[in-house]
Amino acid sequence: MPDANFAADKAPDVTAPDLSLIICTLNEGAAIRSVITEIAGHLNGIHFEIVVVDDDSKDNTAAEVTDLGKADPRVRLFVRKGERGLSSAAIKGWDIARGRVLGIMDGDGQHDPVAIRALADMILKGDKDLVCASRYIGKTDTGLSFIRDLGSKAATLATGLVLKAPLTDPMSGCFMMTRDWYETARPNLTGVGFKILVDLVASTKVRPRFGEVKASLRQRQGGESKLDIRVVLDLGALLVEKATNGIISARFVLFGLVGVSGAFVYALVLALSHSLLRVDGGLPLYRYQVRYDDIINYGLAIWLSMTWNFYINNVLTFRDKRLKGWPMLTGLLGFYFACSIGALLSLGVAILLKDYFGIHWFAAGVSAALLSGVWNYWGAKAFAWNQ
């Protein structure tokens, strides 16, 4: 089978289209054919290409796009293996696209082709750098449930505080920009999560000349939404990274959140096992005797909370590099190793801060724990999710 992927540099410049529209897909086999056919019809008269970036869908998405591409060479497919994420897929698409205008839309039919055509016309005129479909100009049908609509508005508000840009709908997943403007943001993109428009606008100091088109969200054409609680956490983490100028990375924020959840697991396990377990006797240590049940209680709490942290980090913080099967086991061992060093480091630093620098015992403990958190993050990357 010929390689479905293509390299941008292999394509001769003379055929470079005006518009490259990226469609990121994950199991959109039910919709993708009609979505592409419909939008291609609406872009009549425009020199465009459609680049589908598929994250190795388990359904027939890739087969459908390959098939369409045979009949229409403007339709191209790039399959990513072992990677996940809407934002990073979009960046991949734009990086290999050839148009002077770069755009994005969903592969499930939710974005209205009439609005997309309007976006294309607006930006191809040449006096705008970024044009977005917005659900919040006047009253539109957002197609969202009450709860999601509320969530979307809250996210829009929080994002507005960080962005300071005149976007009425920064959560929009349907927009177009000039390649020139994209390149000013490209070096600083985070690529975490779903909200690539937020990432872009927060990653460049160059203010885009900006336009909007009012657009309602339509219903999905089959398949399932990939939005879950992780997408919300991702956005929060992305905003922290952008608000701190990248000093605190989005991934570190997620890692820290998992760490906090691990502390709760620790407390819960400790409380349970403390109330349930009674073992008499202990190990003699210097002048003391260390009770067996203390060793078991604390040991269990440490072990279970570390294991919890590993699993949650695997499906949240590092889900784009998620470990499965054998590598998951070696990753788990690597994580135990990193965290054990972190614990020793924390112990040493706490005592040093308290006894040598005379810092209050509580402040010493908290500072040491924070430091070991930074180490654990580094260690997790080095020993578990190798990158």
Asked if 201 and 170 touch (Cβ cutoff 8 Å), the reply is yes
Does residue 84 interact with ligand GDD by CB under 6 A? yes
Contacts for 310 with CB less than 8 Å, ≥ 6 apart: 331, 332, 335, 336, 384
**Where in 87-106 is the site for ligand GDD (CB under 6 A)?**
89, 106
Does residue 163 interact with ligand GDD by CB under 6 A? no
* Torsional sign, CA 209, 214, 216, 221: negative
**Where in 244-303 is the site for Mn ion (CB under 5 A)?**
none
Looking at 224-232, 265-273, 325-333, 362-370, which segment touches ligand GDD (CB under 6 A)? 224-232
Q: Considering beta carbons, is residue 235 or 369 the nearer one to ligand GDD?
A: 235
| Closest listed residue to residue 331, CA positions, set 300, 304, 309, 347 | 309
Q: How far is the CB of 341 from ligand GDD (least distance, A)?
A: 33
Considering just the CA atoms, what is the radius of gyration of the chain in Å? Answer: 25
Q: Which does 85 bind (CB under 5 to 8 A by kind): ligand GDD, Mn ion, none?
A: ligand GDD
Query: What is the rounded CA–CA span in Å between residue 117 and residue 94?
Result: 19
Looking at 71-79, 80-88, 182-190, 325-333, which segment touches ligand GDD (CB under 6 A)? 80-88
| Closest listed residue to residue 90, CA positions, set 224, 170, 181, 195 | 195
Query: What is the rounded CA–CA span in Å between residue 201 and residue 156?
Result: 13
Q: Which does 152 bind (CB under 5 to 8 A by kind): ligand GDD, Mn ion, none?
A: ligand GDD
Q: Considering beta carbons, is residue 179 or 226 the nearer one to Mn ion?
A: 226
Q: Considering beta carbons, is residue 14 or 229 the nearer one to ligand GDD?
A: 229
Contacts for 296 with CB less than 8 Å, ≥ 6 apart: 273, 277, 279
Q: At what angle do helices 250-276 and 361-383 cross, to 10 degrees?
A: 110
Question: Collapsing DSSP states into helix, strand and coil, what is residue 291?
Answer: strand
Among 69, 85, 211, 365, binds ligand GDD (CB under 6 A): 85
Among 28, 55, 108, 169, binds Mn ion (CB under 5 A): 108
Query: What is the rounded CA–CA span in Å between residue 328 and residue 384?
Result: 8
Q: Tokens standing for 249?
A: 């990375």
Residues 167-186, one symbol each (x = binds ligand GDD by CB under 6 A, - = not), give: ----x-x-------------
Q: Which does 193 bind (CB under 5 to 8 A by kind): Mn ion, ligand GDD, none?
A: none
Q: Please report, as ranges, the residues that interact with ligand GDD according to CB under 6 A.
A: 24-26, 28, 53-55, 84-86, 89, 106-108, 110, 152, 171, 173, 194, 225-227
Q: Please report, as ranges, the residues that interact with Mn ion according to CB under 5 A.
A: 108, 110
